[in-house]
Amino acid sequence: MRVVDLFCGAGGLSLGLRRVGFNVVQAYDCWDQAVAVYRKNVGPHAWQVDLRNIFKMGPMLASMAPDLVVGGPPCQDFSPAGDRVEGERAEMTKCFAMLVCIAKPSWIVMENVPQASSSKSWSEARRMLFRAGYGLTEAKLNAAYYGVPQTRKRLFVVGRLGEQDGFLNSALASARTSEPMTIRSMLRSDDPDDQSLEEAEAFFTRPFYTGRGVRSLDEPAPAVIRTTREPPRPGYLASPHPDDPVPAAKAALLTQRQVARIQGFPSNWDWADATSRDIDQMIANAIPAPIAEAIGRVVLARELGASIPEIHGRFGSWLLRSKGFSKAAVRNAKSRVNRARRLLLGRTFSNGAVELAVLEATEAFAKLSTATRSDLRKALCLYREWQNEPKGRRVGAAKADAKCEAAAA
List of residues 6+ apart from 313 with CB closer than 8 A: none
Contact criterion met (CB below 8 Å) for 281 and 271? no
- 383 φ, ψ (degrees, to nearest 5): -65, -40
List of residues 6+ apart from 355 with CB closer than 8 A: 344, 347, 348, 349, 380, 384, 404
75 is catalytic: yes
Q: Which residues pair with 5 in a beta bridge?
A: 27, 70
Rounded Cα distance between 101 and 3, Å, is: 15
Closest CA to 156 of 175, 142, 144: 142
List of residues 6+ apart from 282 with CB closer than 8 A: 9, 10, 33, 34, 37, 271, 274
Closest CA to 251 of 302, 293, 297, 197: 197
Contact criterion met (CB below 8 Å) for 144 and 180? yes
> Is 150 buried (19+), middle (13-18) or exposed (0-12) by CB count in 10 A?
buried
Rounded Cα distance between 196 and 63, Å, is: 52
Catalytic choice (75, 95, 101, 404): 75
Task: Kindly list the distances between the CA atom of residue 36 and the CA atoms of 44, 48, 103, 128, 267, in Å, as whole numbers in the listed order.
Answer: 9, 9, 26, 32, 18
List of residues 6+ apart from 88 with CB closer than 8 A: none
Catalytic residues: 75
